[in-house]
Amino acid sequence: MGLIPEPLSTQVIPRDRHAMFFSILGVIASSLERLAVEIRHMQRTELREAEEYFSPGQKGSSAMPHKRNPVLTENITGLARVVRSSVIPALENVALWHERDISHSSVERMIGPDATVTLDFAIARMTGVIEKLMVYPNMMQRNLDALGGLVFSQRVLLALTQAGMSREAAYNAVQRNAMKVWKEDADFLQELQADKEVLEKISTEELSELFDIGYHIKNIDKIFLRVFGEC
């Protein structure tokens, strides 16, 4: 199995190794929860950019028949808390009396099976969620459009600074026009194209080119290749 003997031990292997093991389990559980929480947010009714698979006849809520609750990712979120709860007891097992007492034994008999089995189940459950995840690009586009172009504010800011405007002046110009979108339901691009201070640095055509969502997702395939390799 590739196990390495403990170079220095007493009656037992120092429990810092065990504490590290359970800490790693806690980190893995937190990574699962991070993904689970993101899916839960995307499944919110007002967003609905992605959601867990909802089988025919499945009940989302006992009180409200229209609901499609993210029950699996909510479950994973709870399981992550259970796994993390083993970390503190494992750390407290490190300090034993006079090289070895048995205070650690009862703890490890509990957290060992519970943490490992729970994490294994959570990983399997998350795998199933990802394999059947429903993704809605049209809803993503709808949500982007609902912001009136504000998602491109940072790119406009950078373009203005690169064109010679001070960062403070560029920030004020972008923010000034962005606030009109929030308050008046205006179009961000049109507001910028009507701003004389902005047009002194960037033309209307150049502004239009900045409002391209493709710029922000141009490296998606490279990122997937870096993470997953050739499929």
My answer on whether 151 and 137 are in the same domain is no
pLDDT at 78 over 90: yes
Which amino acid makes up residue 230? E
Distance between CA 74 and CA 40 in Å, rounded? 7
Residue 211 has, within 13 A of its CA and on its CB side, a CA count of 17
Q: How confident is the model over 87-135, as pLDDT tens digits?
A: 999 999 999 998 788 999 999 999 999 999 999 999 999 999 999 999 9
Q: What is the pLDDT of residue 52?
A: 96
Pairing of β 134-135 and β 50-51: antiparallel
Token pair for residue 99?
Answer: 């090289």
CA distances from 84 to 35, 53, 113 (A): 16, 27, 14
My answer on whether 174 and 93 are in the same domain is no
Boundary (domain end) residue, out of 93, 111, 142: 142
Note if the pTM is more than 0.95. Answer: no
- The CATH number given to whatever domain includes residue 68 is 1.20.200.10
Which amino acid makes up residue 140? M
From first CA to last CA, the distance across the chain in angstroms is: 29
Residue 87 forms part of a structural domain: yes
pLDDT category at 231 given cuts 50, 70, 90 is low
My answer on whether 125 and 188 are in the same domain is no
Stretch 185-199: mean pLDDT: 96
Q: How confident is the model over 142-161, as pLDDT tens digits?
A: 999 999 999 999 999 999 99
Distance between CA 157 and CA 136 in Å, rounded? 30
Give the list of residues 6+ apart from residue 63 with CB closer than 8 angstroms, or none: none
CB-CB contact of 156 with 167 (8 Å): no
Token pair for residue 18?
Answer: 């065990």
Residue 71 forms part of a structural domain: yes
My answer on whether 36 and 66 are in the same domain is yes
Range of the domain at 107: 15-142
Rg (CA), the chain: 26
My answer on whether 48 and 117 are in the same domain is yes
pLDDT at 141 over 70: yes
My answer on whether 41 and 134 are in the same domain is yes
Q: Considering the chain, what is the average pLDDT of its residues? A: 94
Boundary (domain end) residue, out of 108, 142, 176: 142
Q: What is the pLDDT of residue 65?
A: 84
Residue 28 has, within 13 A of its CA and on its CB side, a CA count of 18
Residue that wins the pLDDT comparison between 66 and 169: 169
pLDDT at 75 over 80: yes
pLDDT at 198 over 80: yes
Q: How confident is the model over 8-53, as pLDDT tens digits?
A: 888 888 899 999 999 999 999 999 999 999 999 999 999 999 999 9
CA distances from 200 to 102, 175, 215 (A): 76, 17, 24
My answer on whether 108 and 155 are in the same domain is no
Boundary (domain end) residue, out of 142, 166, 187: 142
Residue 114 forms part of a structural domain: yes
